[in-house]
Amino acid sequence: MEASYLDSVIRQFEYYKSLGEKTFSQISDEKFFWQYNENSNSIAILVKHLWGNQMSRWTDFMNTDGEKEWRDRDAEFENNLNSKEEVLKRWDEGWAVFLDTLKSLKEEDLDKTIYIRNQGHSVMEAINRQMAHYPYHIGQIVFIGKMSAQNWNTLSIAKGDSKAFNAAKFSLDKHQEHFTEEFLPYSKKRNLN
């Protein structure tokens, strides 16, 4: 069975979520709060911002505007979380709301109209908007983690390993597979092959 748009984006979001989590596992607790300067965001701030966006955009998103009245976006950029546990709680809560919503959608929902700040989006456009937004901030999280980790383990193909990586891939027969297949349990749970 060919994977649907929803299956594909869920896999991709889970992949980017995993990059954040692999970064978290490589840094000390205090590095969650480190800022390069006062105009820079810490990992904790970036997580708060993702959480605020996910909670606002994806809570009852088919019926209410994606920019909820209760959201305080400006406060998301204040470094006021006090522990790694608080940061991870926000991370888990935001991703749960977002991914649970995506997993509840049907293909026929993709053309329906939802609103963000009174601007109409198809559900597919709203998902695509986040496909650009969330990986953008996760890339920042990875970059900060890489700069501040004691011993960084790459999250991609290691420098100097491209030829060996490609040789292993090209040694396989051509096949249909989402690029995240080797990284995530999602497709195995859903039997999407």
Sequence letter at residue 79: N
Q: Given this model, what pLDDT does residue 60 score?
A: 96
Q: Given this model, what pLDDT does residue 193 score?
A: 33
pTM over 0.85: yes
Q: Given this model, what pLDDT does residue 118 score?
A: 97
Contact 47, 141 (CB under 8 A): yes
Contact 26, 153 (CB under 8 A): yes
Contact 121, 115 (CB under 8 A): yes
- Going from the N-terminus, what domains does the chain have, and what CATH number goes with each? 5-190 (1.20.120.450)
CB contact burial 139-176 (16+ within 10 A = b; e otherwise): ebbbebbeebeeeeeebeeeeeeeeeeeeeeeeeeeee
pLDDT, averaged in runs of 10, over the chain (193 residues): 79 95 96 94 98 98 96 95 96 98 96 97 97 97 94 87 85 80 49 36
3-state secondary structure of 122: strand
Q: Given this model, what pLDDT does residue 192 score?
A: 37
Which stretch of DSSP H or E encloses residue 175?
Answer: none
Q: Given this model, what pLDDT does residue 136 score?
A: 98
